[in-house]
Amino acid sequence: MRYKFYFLILLFSLTTTYSFAKPMCKILYDRIYEEADFYDVSIPTYENKKSIGIRLEKVWNKEKIYETRDGEKKENMKSPGYELAKNTDGYYKVGKITDPLLHKTSADYVKTKSFFEFIEDKYYKPDSFKSPEKIEVGDVILSINDIDLRSITDYERKKKLLNNVSDLFETNELIKFELLKKYKNKFKKVIVDRTGTSKTPNIRNTLKDFDAPLIDFFVKSITIDEKKGTFTATIEKNHLAKIDKRHGLTKIIHEELIKKKEYKEGNLTNFRWYQCPYPEQEWEDLDSISLTYGMKFDKLISQDNSLKKSFYNIRPNWEYDFDNWKKFINSANAKNFEMPYLLEGAEVAYNSTGVYTFQSDFNLKTFPFDKQTIKIFLYNEKYDIDNLRALFSSFSLNEANKFAETNTIPGWNIDNVDLNYKIFEKINTDNFSGFSGDSGLHDGILYEVEISRKSGYYIFKIILPILLILMICWSAVWIDPKEIESRLTITIVCLLSLIAYNFVIDSDLPKLEYLTIMDYIILISYIYAAIPNFLSIYSFQLLKKNKALTKKYEFYEKKYGLPSYILIIFLIVIINASSAPDHTNSMFTWASMR
């Protein structure tokens, strides 16, 4: 009995000790709450990064051809990767604006007297300024400082071109752009050159500090509701920020999430690392790093919070110590030397999945042969592009391609999915003068889905039956004019059938201030269903007075009745397709007169 008593005491003490042991992530959380200083440095700051005010547009190529450092292309070696977007002539395009002065003309800044006072000495005199061309995403770059970027062939400079075109130029070098800009479907060559006078802001390759978080968002599904003018999308968002050694969190994360370090000759060669997930609200309660601060969806109506799932994930970051590796690789101990590591900062990642409802301006003039563009625009309304310039990764482009290839939107075909950077122009009513440091231009990511309606349902279940009803209706003109009861019965029944079809179509569409192709078809069908009714009455009355003239009218009715109906429908399609060519699907793009 005594041994059992001692055994129970020992077991109780062990379980008690275990029960009071804090989990690793709980220890990390408590230390951050108690010790971390968050005022010392912002997150994550890129220091002294060159910027001429733009980045080139990049696309993701699943079959990119591998290129070696000596410039050789291995045709049989294909690896997914980024490459620069080009037009048909091989010129590169503007993919992102990073300087507010390039996106606005001088006239755009003429807002208040206080702004003139702010910029008078820094940029130009208010009484003598020009209104230079602004640069926009999608502009074609013919040259920068008279350099045709297509002529760059060596590996190192091509790598700079892909990563950051600003690295091709010297710090503080004056920059001149020669661009092709699109104006009403026509391209115009323009020079954006502010180096010729000190009265306008000079474009220089400057060194700047700014935050550049990685922001990805993937659309999982979309449902369209044209009647309400909305669409609902299931979206997954991933935000990633890397913090360096200056940040108060870094030391704590390294101490708590890196264990069992092994050193050789003073170099860290092995270790185990861990990561800690936290619910969104729990992490936000720390008032530390919020990756969602200022992030906002444009034209968002509502979010279903009951379906939202979100969390933060914290982990240490490291990289290879190449300097030490080069030092020891040729030493006597090279055989036993292991690649050393440097513990460099940490990563804070945010992930959320939710269901969002957006407002959308559908153009239904060519319904049911319409094409629409669904736009999801995510931007930061708190920080302007001088302070925050988000980037998206290859995962976003990959997921966009997958959505176009594998997903379906009920009733629609997915023609194309595009992902681009876009500037959000915020009207600062409080102080546009510039004293707040807000340029009014905010960085954003635009997700566009081009969709075209599956018209087969409307063709086979509505338009063809309407045509059949009209054929039956006009078959009444082949009945002897004396049988007016039979004629009127047929025409009236056909008219009532068309009214029933109109109710079916109205249930799918909102109350529009304009007529769609289907509306025109229905209205013309009403008229052509009523015409045989009036013709029958007229022929019946005319038959009593002039049989010869009655036969003549009957001949024209039979010959031109239905063909004139089909011709009018054809003209309606052409006119509507021409008035809204960007909203007409491929089935009727031929009808556009543009």
CATH number of 214-453: 2.70.170.10
List the single range of 77-91, 247-261, 495-509 with lowest mean pLDDT. Answer: 495-509
List the single range of 97-111, 217-231, 404-418 with lowest mean pLDDT. Answer: 97-111
β-bridge mates for residue 186, sequence order: 183
Closest residue by Cα to residue 85 from 75, 98, 96: 96
In the predicted model, is pLDDT for residue 116 greater than 80? Answer: no
In this predicted structure, what is the pLDDT of residue 535? 84
- Per DSSP, 173 falls in state -
Average pLDDT score over residue span 116-139: 54
How far apart are the C-alpha atoms of 410 and 415, rounded to whole Å?
14
Residue with tokens 């109506």: 301
Contacts of 496 (CB under 8 A, 6+ apart): none
Closest residue by Cα to residue 161 from 144, 182, 175: 144
Q: Per DSSP, which regions of 103-156 are E strands? A: 140-144
In this predicted structure, what is the pLDDT of residue 328? 62
DSSP alpha helix (H) spans, 173-304: 248-257, 280-284
Average pLDDT score over residue span 102-122: 49
In the predicted model, is pLDDT for residue 169 greater than 80? Answer: yes
Note the Cα 433 to chain centre separation in Å. 31
Q: In the structure encoding, which two tokens stand for residue 335, read together?
A: 């055989």
Q: What is the pLDDT of residues 296-352, one digit of tens each?
A: 999 999 999 999 999 999 999 988 877 766 666 655 555 556 778 888 889 999 999
How far apart are the C-alpha atoms of 62 and 424, rounded to whole Å?
30
In this predicted structure, what is the pLDDT of residue 111? 45
CB 55 within 8 A of CB 165: yes
How far apart are the C-alpha atoms of 513 and 573, rounded to whole Å?
19
Average pLDDT score over residue span 563-577: 87
In this predicted structure, what is the pLDDT of residue 247? 82
* pLDDT level of residue 408 (50, 70, 90 thresholds): confident
* pLDDT level of residue 75 (50, 70, 90 thresholds): low
Identify how many contiguous H helices and E strands the chain contains and give both numbers. Answer: 15, 23
Residue 39 CB coordination number (10 Å): 6
Between CA 157 and CA 165, with CA 160 as vertex, the angle to 5 degrees is 110
CA dihedral 325, 326, 330, 335 (to 10 degrees): 20
In this predicted structure, what is the pLDDT of residue 47? 64
Average pLDDT score over residue span 537-556: 81
CB 422 within 8 A of CB 377: yes
Closest residue by Cα to residue 131 from 149, 157, 163, 109: 109
In the predicted model, is pLDDT for residue 482 greater than 60? Answer: yes
Q: What is the pLDDT of residues 447-465, one digit of tens each?
A: 999 999 988 888 888 888 8
Note the Cα 496 to chain centre separation in Å. 46
Average pLDDT score over residue span 215-226: 92
Q: Could you tell me the fold of the domain covering 456-591? A: Methane Monooxygenase Hydroxylase; Chain G, domain 1 (1.20.58)
Rounded alpha-carbon distances, angstroms, from residue 170 to 142, 205, 396, 539: 20, 7, 32, 89
Share of the chain above pLDDT 70, in %: 79
CB 316 within 8 A of CB 374: no
How far apart are the C-alpha atoms of 159 and 163, rounded to whole Å?
6
Q: Where does CATH 2.70.170.10 sit in the chain?
A: 214-453
In the predicted model, is pLDDT for residue 139 greater than 50? Answer: yes
How far apart are the C-alpha atoms of 51 and 206, rounded to whole Å?
5
β-bridge mates for residue 555, sequence order: none
List the single range of 153-167, 300-314, 404-418, 574-588 with lowest mean pLDDT. Answer: 574-588
Q: What is the pLDDT of residues 248-294, one digit of tens each?
A: 888 899 999 999 988 877 788 889 999 999 999 999 888 878 888 88
Angle between helices 517-545 and 547-579 (to 10 degrees): 170
Q: Which of residues 38 and 384 earns the better pLDDT score?
A: 384
3-state secondary structure of 338: coil
Q: What is the DSSP pairing of strand 300-303 with strand 341-359?
A: antiparallel
Query: Which amino acid, one-letter code, is at 238?
Result: N
pTM metric for this prediction: 0.82
Rounded alpha-carbon distances, angstroms, from residue 73 to 63, 76, 79, 80, 491: 13, 9, 12, 14, 73
In the predicted model, is pLDDT for residue 526 greater than 70? Answer: yes
| Widest CA span in the chain | 130
3-state secondary structure of 188: strand
In this predicted structure, what is the pLDDT of residue 194? 64
Q: What is the pLDDT of residues 354-381, one digit of tens each?
A: 999 999 989 888 888 899 999 999 999 9
* pLDDT level of residue 444 (50, 70, 90 thresholds): very high
Residue with tokens 């008078």: 120
3-state secondary structure of 38: coil
In this predicted structure, what is the pLDDT of residue 509? 74
- Residue 518: CA count within 13 A, CB half-sphere: 23
DSSP of 426-463, one letter per residue?
A: ---SS-TTSTTS--SEEEEEEEEEEEEE-THHHIIIII
CB 14 within 8 A of CB 7: no
In the predicted model, is pLDDT for residue 593 greater than 60? Answer: no
Q: In the structure encoding, which two tokens stand for residue 8, read together?
A: 């129970």
Rounded alpha-carbon distances, angstroms, from residue 343 to 91, 258, 433: 41, 9, 44
Note the Cα 398 to chain centre separation in Å. 13
CB 178 within 8 A of CB 20: no
For all residues of the chain together, what is the average pLDDT?
80
Rounded alpha-carbon distances, angstroms, from residue 161 to 38, 87, 158, 559: 36, 16, 5, 68
Average pLDDT score over residue span 94-116: 64
Q: In the structure encoding, which two tokens stand for residue 501, read together?
A: 């079809």
Q: Where does CATH 1.20.58.390 sit in the chain?
A: 456-591
